[in-house]
Structure 1
Amino acid sequence: MTTADDIQKIYIAYFNRPADSAGLSFWKDKVDGGSASLSDLTNAFSGTEEYRNLYSGTSNSAIVEKVYRHRRCVGPCQNTTPWS
């Protein structure tokens, strides 16, 4: 798996959309260059306006559920708490 694939999966999980070309290029350069990790990318997402717009007022468990669903499910998830 390539860094670009990992970054795309994280974008889809958090934002339910693929990365735009600028975002993908920015994070790929950072991760490949060693100045950031994929964990840094996920931490940075929580400070973005897009994240706040999507998850403001949402409980932590609901955020986890949404991220999980975006990443793992195609269509509605059958189990709303797949980690339990």
Structure 2
Amino acid sequence: MNEGVNIRGLVLSKYHSISEFAKAIGWSRNKASRILNGVTALSADDMAKISALLGIETPERFVHYFFARLSTKWTNRDSA
């Protein structure tokens, strides 16, 4: 897993544009842009759809890509 890549990076590497991703997932370009830029929070359904399109299949990858900011609280506590 590439630690420096986020959902936006995965989307752009696979679909090359937010517009193409929006078409593939069935959203408006505006909704896709708001979600990928962190303006709009993801619902559980949104996460499931994105995971299916991007091939995010393991729990570890799912947590890494959708909860990275939250998971660092727990994964870095031994270094404190």
* TM band (smaller chain): 0.3 to 0.5
Normalising by structure 2, we get a TM-score of 0.35
Normalising by structure 1, we get a TM-score of 0.34
